[in-house]
């Protein structure tokens, strides 16, 4: 199928303004922290819908948009998810994870208990769609992990920009989510993201971010 091309006029700014804009955006994003202590204060569905719309603006392989964002506020479903996640995590923390892994996680104070899965007003479960069924024919999507990873990053950015907090939770294995949420066989859980307001008092690990010299390498003759 051929697509038609339409004019597109990207918004541009003077260089000085771009620098300020990118500095401001960095300052905003550098304030994002993964939070494990949520308030149970409700968050309007309209807000979650908006965040999902933003995530879904992500680029994707052949524009297949191979993602589904399942937003759960139903308490019974959240309890089910918590119970299943804790069952897996108990096994993880009691033998399935290596000693080195447990050692690496120790500074973050995580354990098999996941109360946030019931406390946070919304759980957004991101699913990736490895293929689509068109007229009974199986059609693979492209660069699915890359596409869904980008969309998820944009979701986390949108959540932070809106003034809410999130947690990138990876109960493992995540197969139970497909079943609990009644997702089709072509969907695989990618990440579980509790979203909400922070609890009254939140503590986060005292960690820093790598400096530019460590994460950026320039091949630039002019500098
Ligand atoms: N999935 C487990 C363990 C865990 C693993 C990593 I890597 C983390 O950064 C955090 C937790 C859990 O959710 O507790």
In a domain, 8, yes or no: no
In a domain, 190, yes or no: yes
In a domain, 7, yes or no: no
Which residues lie with the beta carbon below 6 Å from any ligand 1 atom?
89, 92, 105, 110, 169-172
Q: Report how far ligand 1's centroid is from the alpha carbon of 106 (Å).
A: 10
In a domain, 181, yes or no: yes
Domain of 87, in residue numbers = 34-199
In a domain, 139, yes or no: yes
pLDDT at 102 exceeding the cut of 70? yes
In a domain, 209, yes or no: no
pLDDT at 198 exceeding the cut of 70? yes
Span 15-35, pLDDT tens digits? 999 999 999 999 999 999 999
- Quickly state the pLDDT bin for 130 (edges 50, 70, 90): very high
In a domain, 2, yes or no: no
In a domain, 29, yes or no: no
170 touches 158 (CB < 8 A): no
Nearest residue CA, atom 8 of ligand 1? 105
Phi, psi of 166 (to 5 degrees): -145, 165
pLDDT at 77 exceeding the cut of 70? yes
Rounded to whole angstroms, the Cα distance separating 88 from 51 reads 29
CB-CB neighbours of 39 under 10 Å: 16
The alpha carbon torsion through 213, 218, 220, 223 (nearest 10 deg) reads 0
CATH number of 85's domain: 3.40.109.10
The pLDDT score that the predictor gives to residue 1 is 66
Q: Report how far ligand 1's centroid is from the alpha carbon of 113 (Å).
A: 11
Q: Report how far ligand 1's centroid is from the alpha carbon of 192 (Å).
A: 12
Q: How many domains does the chain have?
A: 1
With a pLDDT cut of 90, the percent of the chain lying above it is 97
Phi, psi of 184 (to 5 degrees): -70, 165
Q: Report how far ligand 1's centroid is from the alpha carbon of 63 (Å).
A: 31
34, 101, 105, best to mutate for ligand 1 pocket (most atoms within 8 Å of CB): 105
pLDDT at 223 exceeding the cut of 90? no
Phi, psi of 89 (to 5 degrees): -65, -35
In ligand 1, the atom with minimum distance to the C-alpha of 104 is 7
């Amino acid at each position: 199928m051929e697509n038609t091309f339409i004019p597109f006029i990207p918004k541009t700014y003077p260089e000085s303004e771009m620098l300020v804009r990118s500095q401001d955006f960095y300052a905003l994003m550098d304030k994002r922290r993964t939070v494990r202590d949520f308030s149970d204060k409700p968050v309007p569905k309209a807000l979650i819908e908006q965040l999902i719309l933003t995530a879904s603006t992500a680029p994707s392989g052949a524009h297949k948009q191979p993602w589904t964002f399942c937003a759960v506020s139903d308490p019974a479903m959240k309890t089910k998810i918590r119970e299943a996640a804790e069952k897996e995590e108990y096994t993880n923390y009691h033998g399935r994870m290596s000693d080195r892994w447990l050692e690496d996680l120790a500074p973050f104070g995580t354990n098999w208990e996941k109360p946030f899965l019931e406390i946070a007003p919304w759980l957004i479960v991101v699913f990736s769609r490895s293929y689509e069924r068109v007229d009974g024919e199986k059609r693979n999507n492209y660069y699915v992990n890359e596409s869904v990873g980008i969309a998820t990053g944009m979701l986390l950015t949108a959540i932070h920009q809106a003034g809410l907090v999130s947690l990138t939770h990876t109960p493992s294995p995540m197969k139970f989510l497909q079943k609990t949420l009644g997702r089709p066989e072509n969907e695989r859980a990618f990440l579980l993201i509790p979203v909400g307001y922070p609890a009254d008092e939140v503590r986060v690990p005292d960690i820093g971010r790598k400096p530019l010299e460590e994460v950026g390498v320039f091949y630039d003759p002019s500098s």
